[in-house]
């Protein structure tokens, strides 16, 4: 199944954290990173804190959604994420934004419940899944349009053949 994973960070070496997270995700058995969006900066939600760097990765995975979520949480921990406060600053945040099959359980909702309220998630999502523009494009336009890219890492992100 295909998924779109959102990446966010506003502490530390943000671009390096994204590259490391993508490499670890690509190394998960049954997962393959297909495409990576450019990086975008955005204002934070929640308490005062530094600006966020955001991106998205399109991933093909044999993992069930809960197993993929477990893999994402393990990558966050491996790369130093410590959860202290909701919507607080973080070294890395990995979320399942979208999947080929929607899901709603006690633990996980796909598409991500806040997706349609966040240009910082929709902009990179549409970079890696342009076929979703018919549905999400008007929502992004209503939010003020796409964010300007600040970096492009496609050339530095290696994926399995």
Which of 93, 127, 134, 154 is an active site residue?
93
Residue 20 annotated as catalytic: no
CA 67 to CA 54: how far, in whole Å?
23
Among 124, 101, 107, 109, smallest CA distance to 37 is for: 124
Which of 14, 58, 90, 118 is an active site residue?
90
Residue 90 annotated as catalytic: yes
Among 14, 45, 51, 19, smallest CA distance to 33 is for: 19
Which of 81, 83, 86, 134 is an active site residue?
81
What the block records as the tokens of 32 is 């393959």
Which of 14, 95, 118, 127 is an active site residue?
95
Residue 32 annotated as catalytic: no
The DSSP string of 124-153 is HHHHH-GGGHHHHHHHHHHTT-PPPEEE--
What the block records as the tokens of 17 is 């954290």
Distances from the Cα of 42 to the Cα of 55, 71, 115, 126, 133, angstroms: 11, 26, 14, 16, 21
Residue 93 annotated as catalytic: yes
Active site residues: 81, 90, 93, 95
């Amino acid at each position: 199944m295909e998924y779109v994973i959102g990446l966010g960070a506003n502490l530390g070496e943000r671009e390096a954290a994204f590259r490391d997270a993508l490499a670890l995700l690509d190394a998960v058995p049954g997962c393959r990173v297909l495409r990576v969006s450019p990086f975008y900066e955005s204002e934070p939600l929640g308490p005062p804190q530094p600006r966020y760097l955001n991106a998205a990765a399109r991933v093909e995975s044999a993992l069930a959604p809960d197993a993929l979520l477990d893999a994402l949480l393990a990558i966050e921990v491996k790369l130093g994420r410590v959860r202290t406060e909701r919507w607080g600053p973080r070294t890395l945040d990995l979320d399942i934004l979208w999947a080929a099959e929607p899901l709603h359980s006690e633990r996980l909702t796909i598409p991500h419940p806040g997706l349609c309220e966040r240009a910082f998630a929709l902009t990179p999502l549409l970079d890696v899944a342009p076929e979703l523009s018919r549905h999400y494009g008007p929502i992004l336009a209503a939010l003020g349009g796409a964010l300007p890219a600040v970096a492009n890492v496609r050339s530095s992100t290696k994926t399995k053949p």
